[in-house]
């Protein structure tokens, strides 16, 4: 039996859902295939969305037309603005979500989406003709033909779950691994490797003594991820609870390391450096007498508690012992034991910035198959893959976001240029231009891009442009209007805790004072609409632009200086192996990565500045020759 679609998406996790929704909303007949349609956008690990840098990406995804931010806003159980007392570049939004409601909502959105069909089944292999993909073959032999295929298999390719010495085929409890795809890719010549991730035990709420823990509530003021969401909670807000491991916990773990698959050599895949298992923490940080753990409710519909920070693959009997040494968990009942998952991924230097693979045309990869870790990293890749598969079908240019445009651009450029040998997680420190990649200015950065892509409805698009225009107007008025020293002004400034004026200044200069914010301006005589002054969508961004003006200008200058390298496209057929002036290592690395631009070449580890100069000289010489050849043809 044969089916025909424009785009087929394999896997219904966070990447697969965003990819399929994007392609369907752009008007292409799309099929989403999953081995379990009851777990659409399932949260296999922690029940949360966002965090430092991750929250930035969720906002970027929302402005471009993605779904994750809306779902998180509607299912939020606890909201926190991380680093709120620090600089704007490193603030981040994180939401504890109701994982049951989140998955159910995403499933409803997918099933209601026009142009999008769903199919429960396992994809065994790709339908290839030479170096082009024309669809997939299912386990029952059915062929699904498509113009483009997007693979978003998460942690399921050849996946094995580990609990002590016990090994089970599967990428998540109760869900089998997928076999065939990664073997076919490896046979085709792709570099396929193994990674590892872990998850903590799930505990029964009724068996926990919360009096021995510290209650942790979220923030009362809600800043939603989505531009279209209301600024009020939809669900009852709940606390999390803080506890810590003890000396006894560490003693039990140390005595049983010989039973850990991680330390016995059974697990060969590399685990996440920044989210290590409790075994790793105890071994690597011997000087620490305890490690904190947050007890996080998974849903209002269940009694499951997620033990954040205590992922483990030790045997069940050992988990029974050491978990009960943590205060509050002495008599705890396990609903599910912790386990590790080892799975295949494709080394990401084998994909273009569009997320299309280099060896096989019309085949796109998104999510953990590219070596990333996290729902947010997966979702934004899915969105870009869906947009670019649609662009391929429509014969349009792909969307490639720059490093100074979005964290999404940083993520994909890092993967394509540097590759990864461990699960890649996004941090603000990965972005060299993070002061211009803030959460508050996402509309300014990406509204025009969103309009070009076409995923955002017209009404919402106009609202985004309206916010941007209001910010611009407010910024202009702040520079134009003056505040003069008089008795009333001086009195009000002293009441605020600010110093008196020695001369007239613009309100923009006044706002540069750290103790002054937009809420003070109207009381100091600033003539502007009060609703704009009190709208966080407008005033937050304007305040930051004013207070950090000098730093932002300097960063924009650096971006401008780097732009000429980013705009210098390198020929797709350039023979790096024959170029003069490069070392053997530089030739090999350039030939493997095949950078799009001189700027990307500059970021490849091991490619020195002298090599970039050689490439620049080569490009200038080539351009000069082409110019002379063109003039010669004109004369003849």
Longest dimension (CA), the chain: 92
Asked if residue 351 lies in contact with residue 43, where contact means CB atoms within 8 angstroms, the answer is no
Q: Does the structure show a pLDDT above 90 at 315?
A: yes
Between 49-63, 208-222, 257-271, the lowest mean confidence (pLDDT) is in: 257-271
Q: Which residue has the higher pLDDT, 29 or 591?
A: 29
Does 12 lie in the same domain as 64?
yes
Between 7-11, 126-130, 374-378, 572-576, the lowest mean confidence (pLDDT) is in: 572-576
Does 160 lie in the same domain as 21?
yes
Across the range 607-627, mean pLDDT stands at 80
Does 336 lie in the same domain as 230?
yes
Q: Give the CATH number of the domain where residue 392 resides.
A: 3.50.50.60
Look up the domain containing 269 and give its range.
Answer: 202-340
Does 318 lie in the same domain as 234?
yes
Q: Which among 62, 56, 42 has a CA at the least distance from the CA of 94? A: 56
Does 253 lie in the same domain as 169?
no
The C-alpha R_g of the chain, in whole angstroms, comes to 27
Instruction: Round to whole Å and give the CA distance between 136 and 159.
Output: 20
Q: What would the pLDDT profile of 367-405 be if each residue is shown by its tens digit?
A: 999 999 999 999 999 999 999 999 999 999 999 999 999
What's the confidence (pLDDT) of residue 565?
85
Q: Give the CATH number of the domain where residue 602 resides.
A: 1.10.150.570
Q: Give the CATH number of the domain where residue 229 resides.
A: 2.40.30.260
Asked if residue 63 lies in contact with residue 55, where contact means CB atoms within 8 angstroms, the answer is no
Q: Does the structure show a pLDDT above 70 at 530?
A: no
What's the confidence (pLDDT) of residue 317?
96
What's the confidence (pLDDT) of residue 635?
52
What's the confidence (pLDDT) of residue 632?
56
Between 97-101, 392-396, 442-446, 574-578, the lowest mean confidence (pLDDT) is in: 574-578
Chosen domain end from 287, 307, 340:
340
Q: Does the structure show a pLDDT above 90 at 582?
A: no
Q: Environment class of residue 396 by beta-carbon count within 10 Å: exposed (0-12), middle (13-18) or buried (19+)?
A: middle
Asked if residue 136 lies in contact with residue 127, where contact means CB atoms within 8 angstroms, the answer is yes
Instruction: Round to whole Å and give the CA distance between 421 and 349.
Output: 11
Instruction: Name the pairing type of β-strands 143-151 and 192-199.
Output: unpaired
Does 412 lie in the same domain as 547?
no
Across the range 489-508, mean pLDDT stands at 94
Chosen domain end from 392, 414, 447:
447
> Which run of H or of E encompasses 74?
helix 68-74
Does 356 lie in the same domain as 324?
no
Q: Does the structure show a pLDDT above 80 at 531?
A: no
What's the confidence (pLDDT) of residue 626?
63
Total number of domains in the chain: 4
Asked if residue 76 lies in contact with residue 462, where contact means CB atoms within 8 angstroms, the answer is no
Q: What would the pLDDT profile of 131-140 be if each residue is shown by its tens digit?
A: 999 999 999 9
Residue 544 lies in a domain: yes
What mean pLDDT is reported for the chain? 92
What's the confidence (pLDDT) of residue 536?
82
Does 211 lie in the same domain as 190?
no
Q: Does the structure show a pLDDT above 80 at 556?
A: yes
Measure Cα distances from 376 to 83, 275, 352 in Å: 19, 15, 20
Across the range 540-546, mean pLDDT stands at 91
Q: Environment class of residue 46 by beta-carbon count within 10 Å: exposed (0-12), middle (13-18) or buried (19+)?
A: buried
Instruction: Round to whole Å and give the CA distance between 399 and 240.
Output: 40
Asked if residue 383 lies in contact with residue 19, where contact means CB atoms within 8 angstroms, the answer is yes
Q: What would the pLDDT profile of 251-281 be if each residue is shown by its tens digit?
A: 999 999 999 887 777 877 777 776 789 998 9
Measure Cα distances from 326 to 198, 203, 207, 212, 510 in Å: 20, 13, 13, 9, 52
Instruction: Round to whole Å and give the CA distance between 548 and 397.
Output: 36
Does 159 lie in the same domain as 26?
yes
Chosen domain end from 340, 369, 395:
340
Does 333 lie in the same domain as 243?
yes
Tokens of 588: 């090999």
Instruction: Round to whole Å and give the CA distance between 103 and 47.
Output: 11
Across the range 335-357, mean pLDDT stands at 96
Band (522; pLDDT cuts 50, 70, 90): confident
Name beta bridge partners: 92. Answer: 82
Look at residue 220 and give its three-state secondary structure. Answer: coil
Instruction: Round to whole Å and give the CA distance between 363 and 346.
Output: 13
Q: Which residue has the higher pLDDT, 263 or 634?
A: 263
Tokens of 326: 């943590």
Does 354 lie in the same domain as 294?
no
Measure Cα distances from 545 to 508, 587, 633 in Å: 10, 43, 52
CA 413, 419, 425, 427 torsion-angle sign: negative
Percent of the chain with pLDDT over 70: 97
What's the confidence (pLDDT) of residue 238?
97
Dihedral class, residue 316 (left if φ above 0, else alpha if ψ from -120 to 50, else beta): alpha
Residue 28 lies in a domain: yes
What's the confidence (pLDDT) of residue 628?
62
Between 50-59, 153-162, 208-217, 525-534, the lowest mean confidence (pLDDT) is in: 525-534
Look at residue 93 and give its three-state secondary structure. Answer: strand
Q: Which residue has the higher pLDDT, 344 or 527?
A: 344
Across the range 555-580, mean pLDDT stands at 86
Instruction: Round to whole Å and give the CA distance between 20 and 149.
Output: 10
Does 174 lie in the same domain as 34?
yes
Across the range 409-422, mean pLDDT stands at 94
What's the confidence (pLDDT) of residue 630?
60
Residue 530 lies in a domain: yes
Q: Does the structure show a pLDDT above 90 at 102?
A: yes
């Amino acid at each position: 039996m044969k089916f025909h679609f424009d785009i087929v998406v394999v896997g219904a996790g966070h990447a697969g859902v965003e990819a399929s929704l994007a392609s369907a909303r752009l008007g292409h007949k799309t099929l989403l295939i999953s081995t379990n349609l009851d777990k659409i956008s399932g949260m296999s690990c922690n029940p949360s969305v966002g965090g430092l840098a991750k929250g930035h990406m969720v906002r970027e995804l929302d402005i471009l037309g993605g779904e994750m931010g809306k779902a998180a806003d509607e299912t939020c159980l606890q909201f926190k603005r991380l680093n709120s007392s620090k600089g704007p570049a490193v603030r981040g939004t994180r939401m504890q979500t109701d994982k049951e409601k989140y998955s159910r909502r995403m499933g409803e959105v997918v099933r209601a989406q026009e142009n999008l069909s769903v199919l429960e089944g396992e994809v065994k292999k790709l339908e290839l003709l030479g170096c082009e993909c024309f669809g997939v073959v299912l386990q029952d032999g059915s062929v699904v033909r498509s113009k483009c295929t997007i693979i978003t298999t998460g942690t399921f390719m050849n996946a094995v779950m580990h609990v002590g010495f016990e090994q089970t085929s599967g990428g998540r409890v109760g869900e089998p691994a997928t076999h065939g795809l990664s073997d076919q890719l490896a046979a085709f010549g792709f570099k396929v490797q193994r990674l590892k991730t872990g998850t903590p035990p799930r505990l029964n709420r009724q068996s926990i003594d919360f009096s021995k823990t510290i209650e942790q509530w979220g923030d009362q003021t809600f800043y939603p991820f989505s531009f279209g969401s209301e600024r009020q909670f939809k669900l009852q807000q709940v606390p999390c609870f803080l506890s810590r491991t003890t000396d006894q916990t560490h003693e039990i773990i140390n005595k049983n390391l010989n039973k850990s698959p991680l330390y016995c050599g059974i697990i060969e895949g590399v685990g996440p450096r920044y989210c290590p298992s409790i075994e790793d923490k105890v071994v690597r940080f011997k000087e620490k007498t305890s490690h904190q753990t947050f007890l996080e409710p998974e849903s209002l519909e269940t009694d499951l508690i997620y033990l954040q920070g205590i992922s483990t693959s030790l045997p069940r009997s050992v988990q029974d012992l050491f978990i009960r040494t943590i205060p509050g968990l002495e008599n705890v009942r396990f609903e599910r034991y912790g386990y590790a998952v080892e799975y295949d991924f494709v080394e990401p230097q084998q994909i273009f910035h569009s997320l299309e693979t280099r060896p096989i045309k019309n085949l796109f990869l998104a999510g953990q198959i590219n070596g990333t870790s996290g729902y947010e990293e997966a979702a934004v890749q899915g969105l870009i893959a869906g947009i670019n598969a649609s662009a391929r079908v429509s014969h349009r240019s792909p969307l490639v976001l720059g490093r100074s445009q979005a964290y999404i651009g940083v993520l994909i450029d890092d993967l394509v240029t540097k590759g990864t040998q461990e699960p890649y997680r996004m941090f603000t420190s990965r972005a060299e231009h993070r002061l211009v990649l803030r959460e508050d200015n996402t509309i300014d950065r990406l509204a025009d891009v969103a309009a070009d892509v076409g995923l955002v409805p017209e009404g919402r698009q106009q609202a985004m442009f309206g916010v941007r225009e209001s910010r611009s107007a407010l910024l202009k008025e702040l520079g134009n209007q003056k505040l003069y020293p008089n008795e009333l002004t001086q009195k009000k400034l002293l009441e605020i805790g600010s110093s008196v004026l020695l001369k007239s200044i613009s309100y923009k200069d006044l706002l540069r004072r750290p103790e002054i914010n937009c809420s003070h301006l109207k009381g100091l005589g600033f003539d502007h609409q009060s609703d704009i002054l009190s709208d966080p969508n407008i005033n937050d961004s304007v305040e930051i632009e004013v207070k950090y003006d000098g730093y932002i200008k300097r960063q924009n200058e650096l971006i401008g200086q780097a732009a000429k390298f980013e705009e210098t496209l390198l020929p797709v057929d350039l023979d790096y192996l024959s170029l003069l002036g490069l070392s053997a290592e530089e030739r090999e690395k350039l030939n493997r990565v095949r950078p799009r631009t001189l700027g990307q070449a500059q970021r490849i580890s091991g490619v020195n500045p002298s090599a970039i100069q050689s490439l620049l000289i080569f490009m200038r010489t080539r351009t000069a020759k082409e110019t002379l050849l063109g003039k010669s043809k004109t004369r003849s």
